[in-house]
Amino acid sequence: MGTRSTIDRPTAGVSPPHAAALVADLLGWFAGARRDLPWRRDRDAYRVWISESMLQQTRVEAAVPYFERFVARFPTVAVLAAAPVEAVLAAWSGLGYYRRARSLHAAARAVVERHGGEVPSEREALLALPGIGPYTAGAVASIAFDRPEPLVDGNVARVLSRLFALDAPSDSARFRAESWRLAGELVRVAAPHGPGDWNQALMELGAVVCVPREPRCLACPVKAHCRAIADGRTSELPVPKRRAQPIDVEVHVALVRDGDRVLVAQRPPGGRMEGLWELPAIEPSGARRLHAAEWPGDGALIAGDEIGSVAHSITCHRIRARIFAARWTASDTAPPLRMARADELGALGLTGLASKALRASSTEAVQRESRSARRTRDACAGRVR
Ligand code: SF4
């Protein structure tokens, strides 16, 4: 292990010659290495905003098809603002953290009302929009408008922690403050060369070279400026966060099929994943609560055999969902329940867990068990568990 340095030492700052050489080397590399991504084909602020919002949810490769579908469905801020929120949630379905999709919709409306439909270029005006935080404001201001505003995401934080040997745990306030301070210093040095390119170059380096495990230091364009490699500390930086213990949750899911229709329930207002659709689900008593405890449609849902299970994670919850073949015994459904055709499900906005359970239930084995469960449903007793 090499010599330890700390962020309190002067070397954690950026000396002007060091910063200038670092900027030149990284931008030189980025000019030849930048990936061709759909949101990089122009600097349209709306597209930058949508892409950066998605990239906070998922990896670049996974974000591309979501991005292309989203901007095809909502090509401008005005179209997004005029759309029903359910359509936005449906287009976001699968990316997770649906509050971000709701905020995106609310912010589009605010852009139309306050800025005539033009995404503002100033950081403060961006920060005043619903759901836009320092990262997204920095991304839009720098990439779309070439303003010298910093940004720090996971990739940038990791790169800076190694370049400058930041010793604070990566979830600490001190680490965040140092990362933003360094990012701010560097983007000002890079300003004459294009702050948007600089910020993207930092993120790109973190995504393809200075990766979390086994960074590709030999191929790194800025290895000459890196404290971590000089100190032999690339494998120990950034200092890991103190992880919260995952919470195990068991959920029982009822699968009611009627021909090509499936019984689904809309998540209630004010809670997690508000407005999205899921398969009717409850948690057996004793489990930590993640969903509402009570299943609507009192008494009409009759559960049968267990036909499968899926695992799913939401933030710190580790969910095991047991799927039960079930039947709906009432003549009709009322909100929040409805029978939805298979071809409607995509447009409804399903929770990730519901999508997984439906995929699992469409496997041949589960369908077979489901048919078997229907044949023997007279033997089924009691409400869904
Ligand atoms: S030399 Fe290695 S640790 Fe340092 S920035 Fe480059 S890839 Fe990251």
Bridge partner residues of 266 (DSSP): 277
Of all atoms in ligand 1, which is nearest to the CA of residue 220?
Answer: 6
At 74-128, the pLDDT tens digits run: 999 999 999 999 999 999 988 877 889 999 999 999 999 999 999 999 999 999 9
Tokens 């207002």 sit on residue:
269
Q: How far is the CA of 164 from the centre of ligand 1 (A)?
A: 10
**Residue corresponding to tokens 């680490």:** 175
Residue 210 near ligand 1, beta carbon < 6 Å: yes
Task: Give nearest CA residue, ligand 1 atom 4.
Answer: 226
**Poorest-pLDDT segment among 172-186, 242-256, 355-369:** 355-369
Pocket test for ligand 1, best of 208, 217, 218, 225 (most atoms within 8 A of CB): 217
pLDDT at 282: 84
Our answer on whether the CB atom of 187 is closer than 6 Å to any ligand 1 atom is no
The DSSP string of 28-40 is HHHHHH----GGG
Q: Is 254 helix (H, G, I), strand (E, B) or coil?
A: strand
Above 60 in pLDDT, residue 7?
no
Strand 317-328 relative to strand 247-258, pairing: parallel
Rg (CA), the chain: 25
147-162 per-position pLDDT tens digit: 999 999 999 999 999 9
> Is 52 a known active-site residue?
yes
Instruction: Please choose from 220, 231, 235, 237 the residue to mutate so as to test ligand 1's pocket, defined by most ligand atoms within 8 A of CB.
Output: 220
State if residue 220 touches ligand 1 by the CB under 6 angstroms criterion: yes
Cβ neighbours, 10 Å, residue 227 = 21
By alpha-carbon position, which residue is closest to atom 2 of ligand 1? 217
Residue 179 alpha carbon to ligand 1 centre in Å: 16
Closest CA to 48 of 151, 128, 124: 151
| pLDDT for 211 beyond 70 | yes
CATH numeric code, 10-230: 1.10.340.30
Best residue among 156, 223, 227, 235 to mutate for probing ligand 1, ranked by most atoms within 8 Å of CB: 223
Please report which residue ranges of 276-351 form alpha helices under DSSP H: 342-348
Provide the pLDDT for residue 365. Answer: 45
**pLDDT band for position 13 (50/70/90)?**
low
Assess contact for 237 and 70: CB atoms under 8 A: no
| Angstrom distance (rounded) from CA 138 to CA 323 | 44
Mean pLDDT on 204-215: 95
Cβ–Cβ < 8 Å for 259, 329: no
Q: What residues does each domain of the chain span?
A: 10-230, 247-379
Cα 139 from Cα 145, distance rounded (Å): 9
- Please give the residue that has the higher pLDDT: either 49 or 313: 49
- Domain 247-379 fold is Nucleoside Triphosphate Pyrophosphohydrolase (3.90.79)
